[in-house]
Structure 1
């Protein structure tokens, strides 16, 4: 049976420890850790911070579902207000790509330290001057090193596909998983990303069966082919009954994490209403 989790990336006006406590208070079994500012930005997230996090998790009896290493906004002094994925693992600039690989390893360290089964990572988007074929080569090269490290630590790496990125839909991520051929590589399946890509979400889940390391949940206005803006379940048009039936059909019994970073002013409402909307499907 799927367990519900909630991402701390909705609680960016709160400390990480406050976010964990609030999420647990809404009944969630798991919490996803934002591996970025203002929560766990790894260059400044030291052993003492990890110990405090472990204590907070134990105090409220909640598990870490995933370490979300999709963004690294803390890298920039003037990062834009919307999430983006630079520096990515497909940057042709060797120093920037090296920084991102090491950053991803620190996410793996945090997952191992907290008992999280996986981290999530995006491919990034090819920047001008980097042909898609070269970006794909760089992705494979980066993943080889990341996966070797992940295997040593006992942590899975889920690639989260997203429209307009190099790995942008289910076909892309499954081709990548097959081509790389490493047991630790899988899919962090975001149901909204599948929908806005024009896919049937329940079909995407069934196609990814056996490779799903984690799940992101949100609603999408317009459903299939709809607008990419994460909403509380019930505020959009996704069929969550069909989604949870698909999880059951493929035997997925991991965490499904609400990712509602779009509600920074109302994270408690987002957490509460999401749990109320989805608990019936568990």
Structure 2
């Protein structure tokens, strides 16, 4: 396993500068935020991609994942409830198609930078949309996205989160079965598992063979704790157990720290997280 750090903690910096700063802390990989202010795809052009590739090559760092969970750049002034909107389950077919195309652009960036996967959240059913109807939208959207991603050698990891349509490990596994495509897996956020009330080892063992990437953060209160991302050591998760479980199932990919909650001190968060976890990799 190798440690990576997401640029979503570095939203006060440009994407190339975020890459360089993360590399300076010793990480083997960097996750790219596929959203404003980094790679918001309707505005992320060829010059932006070239500057990113130069930064990656200069820092000698790999890309662990392209994080396409959110598209907040869509809004001039986004309300908090719009966090995952427009989503791939939005009842408006035009908005749903917009988000499918947006995810395809994330796949393009993954292919250009050698990232093995993109991650995507289901979103939550909007008022007036029954969960069963939203689920049908999800299946259709994922088929479209996978038709694009699979020939390009990029996996799509569904990232579950409490209160979304797909909110736990079992629901993600059911989705994988229903879709029936090799290119779909789970971007396994162990903090989300803990908030939902899952035991970390059981979660990892269930997801084994389907893990496209791992997100990691600490959670205060451990299982059933509050969903607020903390630097490892500031909460109650058992990271020795988490890494042992990942090792036991043969996971050898990136474990990415997602600490977007530290935009005013990302270097401190990156440094402390690396010091806390480097013993496990």
**Corresponding residue of 1:99:** 98
Q: Distance in 2 between matches of 1:174 and 1:81?
A: 29
Residues 67-118 of structure 1: per-residue CA shift (max 9 Å, x gap): 0000000001111368810000001101100100000000000000000000
User: How many residues are treated as equivalent by the alignment?
Assistant: 281
- Cα distance in structure 1, aligned partners of 2:65 and 2:82: 18
Counterpart CA distance in 2 for 1:168 and 1:129 is 19
Q: 1:11 to 1:4 in 2, by over 3 A?
A: same
Contact 1:190 1:215 in 2 (8 A): yes
SS of the residue 1:42 aligns to: coil
TM-score, reference length from structure 2? 0.99
Corresponding position: 1:66 with 2:65: yes
Give the 3-state SS of the residue equivalent to 2:42 in structure 1: helix
Normalising by structure 1, what TM-score?
Answer: 0.98
> Do 1:65 and 1:117's aligned partners in 2 also have CA atoms closer than 8 Å?
yes
Alignment correspondent of 2:153: 154
Label 1:263 to 1:22 Cα distance change in 2 as closer, same or farther (>3 A). Answer: same
Q: C-alpha distance in 2, partners of 1:88/1:112?
A: 22
Preserved CA contact (<8 Å) 1:71 1:83: no
CA displacement at 1:48 relative to structure 2: 1.6
Cross-structure match for 2:184:
185
> Aligned to 1:127, what secondary structure does the other structure show?
coil
Report deviation, 1:153. Answer: 1.1
Q: Which runs of 5+ in 1 are unaligned?
A: none
CA 1:19–1:111 in 2, change beyond 3 Å: closer, same or farther?
same
Whole-angstrom CA distance in 1 between matches of 2:234 and 2:273: 10
- d(CA) in 1 for partners of 2:195, 2:7: 23
Question: Does 2:164 match 1:165?
Answer: yes
Task: Find the counterpart in structure 2 of residue 48 from structure 1.
Answer: 47
Unaligned regions of 5+ residues in structure 2, if any? Answer: none
Does the 8 A contact of 1:190 with 1:217 survive in 2? yes
CA distance in 1, matches of 2:205, 2:111: 28
- Provide the rounded CA distance (Å) in 2 between the counterparts of 1:5 and 1:233: 14
Shift of 1:161: 0.1
Q: What secondary structure, in the 3-state scheme, does the structure 1 residue paired with 2:39 have?
A: coil
**CA distance in 2 between partners of 1:83 and 1:115 (Å):** 30
Q: Secondary structure at the match of 1:187?
A: strand
Q: Check if 1:198 corresponds to 2:216.
A: no
Q: Find the residue that maps to 1:120 and give its secondary structure.
A: strand
Deviation string 1:187-229 (CA, Å, 9 cap, x unpaired) is 0000100000000012101100000000100000001010100
